[in-house]
A and B are shown apart, each in its own frame.
Chain A
Amino acid sequence: MKTPSAIQWFKSREGIYYVLLALLLVVVLPLTLDPFRLSMAGKYLTYAFVAIGLVMCWGKAGILSLGQGIFFGLGGYCMAMFLKLEASTPEATSIQSTPGIPDFMDWNQLTELPWFWQPFHSFTFTLLAIIGVPVLLALIIGFTMFTRRVGGVYFSIMTQAVAAILTILIIGQQGYTGGVNGITDLRTLMGWDIRTDSAKMTLYFICVALLFACLFAARMVQERKLGRILVAMNAQETRVRFSGYDVAAFKIFVFCLAAAFAGIGGAMFTLIVGFMSPSFVGIVASIEMVIFCALGGRLSILGAVYGALLVNAAKSGLSESFPEIWPFAMGALFIGVVMAFPNGLAGLYQTYVQPLENRIFKRKPVEAESDSAMAKVQKVSAEENEGFDSSIDNYSTEKS
C-alpha cells in the first residue's frame, strides 16, 4: 500500500482512466468541435469543478450542500468585478456622468466606486479572492453549522436558504452588483481580448488544466487518511468522534474545499461565458449542480466530470431540438439516478463494463486498494438492503 511512483501510477488502471479523460478533453474535443462548441464544452467543464467538490462533500462525507451555486457565483463575481473594472476605463465610459466606474453604477447614481470594489483593480487580489471569498463564507457557514452538529437534510435546507438570501441581495443591490442583469459586457483580461476564438480556445485549455489540478487535489485528499476519515465519518460519525477526531473540523475542511473548487469553476465560467448573473447563485442552479455529480456517480471524481459534460450536452442538445422534452428528461434523470442507479455512471461502469474488461484483458480484478470505489459501491447497495431501524438511527443522529 505504499504510494506508487508516478510512472507506475499512470500504468495502473486508475491512471489509465485519467489519461483517457485527458485525451478526451485535450485531444478529441478540440479536434472534433468547432470553436463555438468547444467553448460550450469549456462552460460545461466549469460545472465539473462544482461536481468534483460535491463528490468530496456529499458522496464521501455525506454533506449535501444545496448552495454550491453560492460559491460558484462568488468566484464568478470576483472575476467579473475585475474584468468589469478593466472594461470601465474613463475613456470607454466617457459618456457616463461619472466616467471610470462600471456602467450599471452610473445608472444607479453612484458617483464613486464602492469600497469593496476597490481591491478588484488588482489581479493578484482577484485571484486570491476567487478562492478566498467562497472559502471564507464556507468557513462561516460550516463553522456555525457543523460545530452545532447541524447535518443531513437540515444542512441542505439551510444552505438553500443562504442561496435564496444571496440571490435577493444581489438582485436588490443593483447599484453595487448589477442586479438581475448581472455584470455583463466583459471584454478583456489584462488587455487580452477574451471574446475572440483563439482566446476561447486558450481559456478552454486553461480550464482543462485547472480541472486536472482540482482532480489531483481531490484525489490526493481521498487517497490519504483524510479521505478514509471522511468516508468513515459518513457511515459512523460517532465512532470517528470517539476515535479522537474533531468531526466538525473535517466537515468544515471538506466543505471549504468544495467551495474553493466551486469558486475556481465560477471564475472560469465568467471568463468563458463573458458575464456573471444572479441566476447561477440561486436555488435552481445549485440543485442542478447536484445532479451533475449524482449522474456521474456521487463517489467518483472522474464520474463527476463526465456527469457535468453529459448533462449539459444533453441539455443543449435536447433543448435545441425538443425544448418541451428537456424538463421531463431532467426530471426523469433526477428520479432515475436516485432510484435505479444511485452510483451513477461510475456505478454502472463498475457493474457492467469492468467485469467485461477484466475478461478481455484477462486481468485479475485489481486489488482492493486501488479500487476502493468498488467496495464503496457495494457499500451503498448494502445500505439499501439494510433494515429500516438503522436508517432511523442515522436520521436521529443527524439531528441530535
Chain B
Amino acid sequence: MFDGYTTSELMSIFAMQGFAGLSLFSVFVLMALGLAIIFGQMGVINMAHGEFMILGAYTTYLTSGFFQAYLPSLFGGYFFIAMIMAFLICAALGAFVEWAMIRRLYKRPLDTLLATWGLSLILQQAYRSIFGPREVGVELPEWMMGAIQVTDMVELPINGLFVMIIALLIALGLYLLMYRSGWGKKVRAVVQNRPMAEAVGINSGAVDRMTFALGCGIAGIAGSAFTMIGSTGPSSGQAYIVDTFLVVVFGGAQSLIGTIVSAFAISQAQSTMEFFLSGSMAKVLTLLVVVGILMLRPEGLMALKIRR
C-alpha cells in the first residue's frame, strides 16, 4: 500500500500515525485511571463508570452554555472551569453512591457489578429525561479547534494534544497522590489490610468514600475531555465500558503503572492494526489478542507476586 510515495511522505504519515496511537493511548488512560482506582484498589466493579464520564460531559455542556450566555468574554477559558466542575460533581455523586450503595456491598464484588449496572440504567434514563434523547453538541473555544502545522503534511490536532496533556497530568497527579502523600498511604493500607488499618486509627469508611469519589471524579474529567473528540448522549457511556475494563484487567488490576502500560500496549496495537486493516476487524483482533493473552496470563501484565 506504500507504492508511489516519497520517503518524506511516508515518514510524515508514520509520525501522524504515531500521534494517533498516542492520542488513543491518552483516551484509554483517561478512561481507565478512574476505574483502576475503584476496581483495582477497592475491588468494586463500577459498571456505571461510563455514565459518570457522561455526567462530566454534560457538566461541560452546561458550563459552556452558561459561559456563552453570561460570560461570553471568558468563553476561551471555560473548559478549565468545566473540568473542575465535572470533577466536583462526579466526585460528589460518587461519594453519595458509595454511601448509599457501595459500602454495603464490599463483601460481594459480583453484586456491586449488578447494582452499579442498575445505577447506570437509571443515570442513562435521567440524562434522557433531562437533556433529551438527542446527542448534544458541546461548543469548543476557537483555540481548541484546528491543528498545529508541524511540516507540510504533519499536522497535530490541538484537541488531541490537549487530551494527552490532561491524561499525563492526571496520571502524574494520581501517582503523587497514591504513592507520595499521606492519604495515598492510607488508601494502600486499607486495601492491603483493612482490620490492621482500622486498628491503627485509619477511618476506613472515609477512605473508601474518598477513593470512590476520586475515581468518579477522574471519570468526570475524562468525560469532560472527551467532549472534544467524541459525542455526548444519554447512552454514549456504554461504548466505553468493555474497553475500559479490559485495559484495567490487562494491566493487572492492582497496579496503576500496569494500567498505563496496558493502555499503551492496547492503543498501539489497535491503532497499528486499524492502519493496516479495516476498522471492525482491527477492533475484533485487538480484543481477541487481549482476551487471549489474559487467558494465558490471567493476572495481567504487571501483577504483583504476593504470597497468599
- Listed in ascending order, the chain A residues whose CB lies under 8 Å from chain B are 58, 62, 64, 66, 144-145, 148-150, 152-154, 156-158, 160-162, 164-165, 168-169, 171-172, 283-284, 287, 290-291, 294, 324, 327-328, 330-339, 342, 383-384, 386-392, 394-397, 399-400
Contact = CB atoms under 8 A, between A and B. Distances in A.
Given A327-B122, A336-B118, 16 more contacts: A150-B298, A161-B242, A161-B245, A164-B287, A165-B287, A165-B291, A324-B128, A327-B128, A328-B125, A334-B119, A335-B119, A383-B108, A388-B194, A390-B107, A391-B107, A396-B306
A152 B44 CA distance: 12
Contact of B288 (A149, A165, A386): A165
A387 B109 CA distance: 15
A169 B284 contact: yes
B107 A388 contact: yes
Nearest to B120: A331
Enumerate the 6 nearest inter-chain pairs by beta-carbon distance, A residue then B residue, closest first.
Answer: A334-B118, A331-B122, A331-B121, A391-B107, A327-B125, A335-B118
A331 B298 contact: no
Interface string B116-135: 01111111111011000000
B88 interface: no
Interface stretch (B98-106, B144-152, B178-186): B98-106
A291 B298 contact: no
B115 A338 contact: yes
B283 A388 contact: no
B299 interface: yes
Contact of A153 (B101, B109, B238): B109
Interface residues of B, number: 53
Interface of B: 39, 43, 45, 47, 101, 104-115, 117-126, 128-129, 194-195, 238, 241-242, 245-246, 249, 253, 280-281, 283-284, 287-288, 290-291, 294-296, 298-299, 306, 308
A174 to B, nearest CB: 10
A337 B43 CA distance: 20
Contacts of A290: 114
Contact of A333 (B118, B129, B290, B296): B118
A157 B245 contact: yes
Contact of B115 (A58, A156, A335, A390): A335
B295 to A, nearest CB: 4
A334 B129 contact: no
12 contacts: A58-B110, A145-B295, A153-B45, A160-B242, A172-B284, A328-B125, A330-B121, A331-B118, A331-B125, A383-B107, A388-B106, A389-B195
